[in-house]
Amino acid sequence: MHPVLLKFWDFTFYSYGLMVALGFFFGAIYLSISAKKIKPPIISQDDIFNIIFGVLISAIVGARLLFVIAEFPDMFSRPLEIFKVWEGGLVYYGGFIGSIIFAFAYLKIKKLNIYKVLDLFAPAVALGHFFGRIGCLLAGCCYGKPTNQPWGIVFEDPQSLAVLGVHLHPTQIYEAGVNLILFVILYFYNKKAHKPGMAIAIYLIFYPICRFIIEFFRGDFRGGYSFGLSVSQIISIIVFIIGITIFYRASKCKK
């Protein structure tokens, strides 16, 4: 599509980086507004923005690290490329795992209710991921396999990371749509009284199911395969099991 939005002298403005930034921005706005509506408060505004900042760093590091591992050894033959995250090449699950590790550590240290705070963050994660996948579409990364379906898309920009001139499954749009639907569902679910942990459990159950299916339509290099499954599909299974476990435990708890 349009990997580069603007070039000014030596400065290049990448669409992928812009969409990731917008995802964090709108996620932060959503969290700030939503947290103020919860009575009694479960988390302060300072803690929200501390977590967002920590998640931003840990997500980028984790997402890039998993991408580098998946691209091994090719990525290590071009070491300077490892740091060019603004050009694309972030694996969502790597960022998600990095974010969860940081968030759990922060919430434990601050002695905040982990399930309640994660429920608050669940819609924001889906919203931020929606913008991230639009960034993938613009950059051409995470592209799909060739298709004859009428909704196939063609990448023509020579700077795109996708295969050019071929009708491909719009896997970026598939996943962006899934995340937008999850955001809407979780947004309205959080407006109702529910047991702590149920909202994040819903996300951890339904996102990996959709991701597992979409992976079959991906055409980009998926790293190593085990049992015919990609790394992301294996992680999806693990995340799904965690989601089911949280759902079961949350359902047994009192509100």
Read off the pLDDT of residues 54-108 as tens digits, 9 standing for 90 and up.
Answer: 988 898 888 877 777 666 556 555 655 555 655 556 677 888 888 889 999 999 9
Q: What pLDDT does residue 88 have?
A: 54
pLDDT at 26 over 90: yes
φ, ψ (nearest 5 deg) of residue 75: -65, -35
CA 122 – CA 214 distance, rounded (Å): 21
End-to-end CA distance of the chain: 47
Read off the pLDDT of residues 172-216 as tens digits, 9 standing for 90 and up.
Answer: 999 999 999 999 999 999 999 899 999 999 999 999 999 999 999
Q: What pLDDT does residue 82 have?
A: 57
Domain that holds residue 167: 4-252
Read off the pLDDT of residues 139-172 as tens digits, 9 standing for 90 and up.
Answer: 998 899 999 999 999 999 988 889 999 999 999 9
Domain count across the chain: 1
Q: What pLDDT does residue 10 have?
A: 72
Q: What pLDDT does residue 39 have?
A: 87
Q: What pLDDT does residue 75 have?
A: 55
pLDDT at 220 over 70: yes
Task: Go through the chain and tell me how many residues it has.
Answer: 255
The pTM (predicted TM-score) of the whole model is: 0.87
Look at residues 134, 148, 116 and name the one whose alpha carbon lies nearest to residue 48. Answer: 116
Confidence band for 110, pLDDT divided at 50, 70 and 90: very high
Q: What is the largest CA-CA distance in the chain?
A: 60
Per residue, the 3-state secondary structure of 113-127, as one string, reads CHHHHHHHHHHHHHH
